[in-house]
Amino acid sequence: MRHLLEIDDLTVDELRHVLSLAQADEPPQVLAGKGMALVFEKPSLRTRNSMEMAVFQLGGHPVYIQGSEVGLDTRESVEDVTNTLAGFHAAIGARVFEHSKVERMAAVDRVPVVNLLSDAAHPMQALADVLTIIEEFGSVEGRTIAYVGDSNNVTRSLGLAVGMLGGVMRIASPVDYCFGEDDLARLRATGGEVHTMVDPYEAVDGADVVYSDVFTSMGQEAESALRLEVFADYCVDGRLMHASGGAVFLHCLPAHRGEEVTDEVVDSPASRVWKLAENRMHAARGYLAFALGES
Ligand code: CP
Ligand code: NVA
């Protein structure tokens, strides 16, 4: 039983295998006649659509379920929902507020569980991130990825994936929004090089990729005014991109244009954001092909 709660639930060899399956021409029909439940406690554009299309391409039937409808831990427990869905579906994907909810689903251990974003991790995004970097540069190894902004779920999964594939990760965040020692130890356990700093200009200098995400993640809306002030110097604009000396720009999206990134960057020739968004589907298909039986 394979669960994917964070990207380092895969070995490096498995991660490489998933990425090669993502690039394969003929999707194996591992979900023929089967379903996948997709439970969302938070909104989604890319994750829902990429997962639904990936399931379809693998011969299966996706069922989208709003968290408010099933009421995880309010209408019935996470475990009871999981046991019920496992009777209908070959796999369960879930986007949740607390990471512990996907851990509890995985602990039921009836069908594979895929984390579709929690407060701690976004592994399906990280798969697409490294797939996009590989398509751009041929490999992640030796490439420098400069993440600018809040050290969050996206940063954590991206940093792990980059480290597993031999890349260099630089993370520029305000002092109170940096990773602590536990996170840095986990990132370094991949064998990858990780550098943290407060100055975004130091982070992007000579980088191959500049990566950005929102300052206020879903669930943190009460802090958004404060975060706008704290992160004022972390907007990826034309000047910062120019300082990189030729990096490409990635963003998991949705972008809050004018906050963490300017229009001129999202819409510039250096931007690969639409490619990255499309790669969510290819990465999802590669992962499900791996987890549901294609060897
Ligand atoms: N990047 C991402 O996960 O987008 P959605 O929130 O729209 O799914
Ligand atoms: N860090 C963001 C990512 C959205 C895809 C959030 O959790 O809202």
Determine the Cα–Cα distance for residues 99 and 219; give it in Å rounded to an integer. Answer: 13
Burial class (CB in 10 A: 0-12, 13-18, 19+), 258: exposed
**Quick check: 158 and 190 in contact, CB under 8 A?**
no
Nearest ligand, CA of residue 251?
1
Mutation test of ligand 2: which of 122, 156, 177 has the most ligand atoms closer than 8 Å to its C-beta?
Answer: 122
> How many Cβ atoms from other residues are within 10 Å of residue 11's Cβ?
10
**Quick check: 209 and 232 in contact, CB under 8 A?**
no
Asked whether residue 177 carries a pLDDT value surpassing 70, the answer given is yes
Q: How many Å is the maximal CA-CA distance in the chain?
A: 54
267 CA from centroid of ligand 1 (Å): 19
Contacts of 39 (CB under 8 A, 6+ apart): 65, 67, 70, 72, 81, 85, 92, 93, 94, 95, 96
DSSP state of 176: G
Amino acid identity, position 180: G
pTM of the full structure? 0.98
Asked whether residue 148 carries a pLDDT value surpassing 80, the answer given is yes
Mutation test of ligand 2: which of 156, 173, 218 has the most ligand atoms closer than 8 Å to its C-beta?
Answer: 218
In whole numbers, what is the pLDDT of the chain averaged over residues?
A: 97
Q: Take atom 4 of ligand 1 and give the residue whose Cα is closest.
A: 46
Q: How far is CA 84 from the centre of its chain?
A: 27
Determine the Cα–Cα distance for residues 50 and 52; give it in Å rounded to an integer. Answer: 6
Asked whether residue 234 carries a pLDDT value surpassing 80, the answer given is yes
Asked whether residue 107 carries a pLDDT value surpassing 70, the answer given is yes
The answer, yes or no, to whether any atom of ligand 2 lies below 6 A from the CB of 47, is no
Asked whether residue 295 carries a pLDDT value surpassing 80, the answer given is no
The answer, yes or no, to whether any atom of ligand 2 lies below 6 A from the CB of 154, is yes
The confidence score (pLDDT) of residue 293 equals: 87
pLDDT per residue as tens digits for the range 190-231:
999 999 999 999 999 999 999 999 999 999 999 999 999 999
Average pLDDT over every residue of 174-190 = 97
DSSP state of 24: -
Asked whether residue 135 carries a pLDDT value surpassing 70, the answer given is yes
Q: Give the DSSP per-residue string, 104-147.
A: HHHHH-SS-EEES--SS--HHHHHHHHHHHHHHHS-STT-EEEE
Q: Take atom 1 of ligand 1 and give the residue whose Cα is closest.
A: 252
3-class DSSP assignment, residue 25? coil
145 CA from centroid of ligand 1 (Å): 20
Known catalytic residues are: 95, 122, 125, 213, 252, 280
Nearest ligand, CA of residue 276?
1
